[in-house]
Amino acid sequence: MSAPKILIIPGSARKDSLNKKLAAVAAERARDAGAEVTLIDLNDYPAPIYHGDDEAETGMPDTMRQLKAQIRAHDALMIATPEYNGHVPPLLVNAFDWVSRADGDDKSNAFAGKLGAILSASPGRLGGARVIPRMRAFLADLGVMSVPGFASLPGAMQAFDENGALTSEHTIGQIDKLVAHLMSWFSQR
Ligand SMILES: Cc1cc2nc3c(=O)[nH]c(=O)nc-3n(C[C@H](O)[C@H](O)[C@H](O)COP(=O)(O)O)c2cc1C
């Protein structure tokens, strides 16, 4: 079959985001493994906080319609999420909440049947360990089944060199396992 299409979404829009850096490494590893990869920046998909009255008045924002189309056009999602007080940060929750909504007459679920893979980078010692099961549960509710395992990057402030290369062999190994899971799933279809 043709190369699986993987959409990589960092859950932080911050310029120097550690999760953007981790997502860039995942993009490189997935491309090397033969996937067709799109790495996006949520700065390109600004959206107001979901509000039912706004939705009733003006519908889905164009940016969220575009994000929905991106998700629909890919086979799998790799999410590099920060951990905020143990949870998925509002930027990701808000974007995915919007995308989960019907768009006028189009009531289809863009997430349905996609495969997921979860990564998290944190300056702390736990590497976002608490957000990973919560991200997995959130994705499951949306219709995305995540592959086993995760890639977690503790001490992320010190984990990239000046070229953005990841110095943690352990986390690189975790990323490669996620990529291998995704690739083997699609090779069996
Ligand atoms: C509101 C807030 C809550 C946070 N809570 C946690 C937390 O529970 N665990 C953690 O490891 N880091 C926590 N942090 C620190 C983030 O991991 C850190 O800001 C990280 O750099 C965010 O990801 P980014 O670099 O991709 O933007 C928190 C940061 C903010 C702003």
Q: What is the pLDDT of residues 115-129, one digit of tens each?
A: 999 999 999 999 999
Q: Is the CB of 83 under 6 A from ligand 1?
A: yes
Fold of 5-187: Rossmann fold (3.40.50)
Per-residue pLDDT at 1: 67
Sketch the domain layout of the chain as residue ranges.
5-187
- Alpha helices (H) in the chain, listed in sequence order: 18-32, 52-58, 62-72, 90-99, 131-142, 169-187
Tokens linked to 147: 């592959």
Q: Is the CB of 4 under 6 A from ligand 1?
A: no
Q: Which residues are bridge partners to 152 per DSSP?
A: 120
Give me the percent of the chain exceeding a pLDDT of 70.
Answer: 99
How many CA atoms, within 13 angstroms, populate the side-chain half-sphere of residue 103?
18
Above 90 in pLDDT, residue 188?
Answer: no
What would the pLDDT profile of 38-93 be if each residue is shown by its tens digit? 999 999 999 999 999 999 999 999 999 999 999 999 999 999 999 999 999 999 99
**How much distance in Å is there from the Cα of 83 to the middle of ligand 1?**
5
What rounded mean pLDDT belongs to the chain? Answer: 97
**How much distance in Å is there from the Cα of 19 to the middle of ligand 1?**
10
